[in-house]
């Protein structure tokens, strides 16, 4: 390639538009579907009156906070008083279901916020709790939660979105709380050009012994609106 052709190539490349990596909350969440957005200051929950549970939620985890402390004493779960009583999930609604369906932290885990007592308390609202299969809650979902904290430390921060899918309205626990059929976790950091999505079936029988985080990774385009 002669000098003039090389020069032309350089000019063409410099004039080409730069393709920017950009993920956003609006790509995944339609806030119009939220009956109520519960603002816990550190994170937000999109709540459904129909399901008496969260449809989704979002939080930003920062490197300077996660894994900086470990408050071992956990707060009590509390009912979210900002939700009208008739649609409110209560702690006692899960009584008797624990063998199969746990009070599963959904948008944020306690370990995400255990750097401060007030922050940790915000993770224990029942609005942040969904009926999670005991095996999913205790064996598999915790891996994707741990991965999010590791990403925050590696990248400086990570944006986290949780989404619940409800396909069977007849599958309920106490007080008419519908059990999600699938739950999703999205992580992204635009500065680091990072985006990954994960899918979990919320069912009682799972082979958790051979479960790997990579088994749940999906193409993020499947979740975008």
Domain boundaries, the chain: 31-222
Letter string b/e over residues 14-24, b meaning 16 or more CB atoms within 10 A of that residue's CB: eeeeeeeeebe
Between the CA of residue 160 and those of 68, 86, 107, 143, 214, what are the distances in Å? 19, 29, 8, 14, 17
In order along its 225 residues, the chain shows pLDDT tens digits of 555 544 444 444 344 444 567 899 999 999 999 999 999 999 999 999 999 999 999 999 999 999 888 898 999 999 999 999 999 999 999 999 999 999 999 999 999 999 999 999 999 999 999 999 999 999 999 999 999 999 999 999 999 999 999 999 999 999 999 999 999 999 999 999 999 999 999 999 999 999 999 999 999 999 999
pTM for the complete prediction?
0.90
Contact present, 184 and 197 (Cβ < 8 Å): yes
Helix boundaries (H) for the chain = 3-15, 117-122, 134-135, 141-155
Q: Is residue 25 packed enough to be buried (19+ CB in 10 Å), middle (13-18) or exposed (0-12)?
A: middle
Please state the CATH superfamily assignment of the domain spanning residues 31-222 in this structure.
Extracellular Endonuclease, subunit A (3.40.570.10)
Across-strand partners of 41?
none
């Amino acid at each position: 390639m002669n000098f003039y052709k090389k020069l032309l190539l350089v000019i063409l490349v410099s004039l080409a538009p730069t393709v920017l990596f950009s993920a956003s909350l609006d790509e995944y969440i339609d806030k119009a579907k939220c009956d109520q957005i519960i603002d816990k200051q550190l994170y937000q929950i999109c709540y459904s009156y129909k399901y008496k549970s969260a449809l989704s939620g979002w939080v930003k985890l920062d490197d300077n906070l996660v894994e900086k402390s470990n408050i071992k004493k956990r707060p009590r779960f509390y009912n979210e008083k900002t939700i009208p009583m008739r649609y409110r999930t209560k702690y006692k609604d899960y009584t008797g279901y624990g063998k199969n369906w746990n009070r599963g932290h959904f948008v944020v885990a306690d370990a995400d916020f255990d750097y401060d007592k007030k922050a940790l308390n915000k993770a224990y609202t029942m609005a942040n709790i969904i009926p999670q299969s005991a095996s999913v809650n205790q064996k598999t979902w915790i891996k994707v939660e741990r991965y999010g904290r590791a990403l925050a430390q590696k990248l400086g921060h990570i944006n986290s979105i949780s989404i619940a899918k409800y396909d069977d309205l007849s599958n309920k626990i106490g007080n008419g709380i519908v059990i999600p059929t699938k739950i999703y976790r999205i992580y992204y950091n635009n500065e680091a050009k990072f985006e990954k999505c994960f899918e979990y079936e919320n069912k009682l029988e799972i082979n958790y012994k051979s479960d790997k985080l990579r088994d749940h990774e999906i193409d993020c385009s499947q979740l975008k609106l």
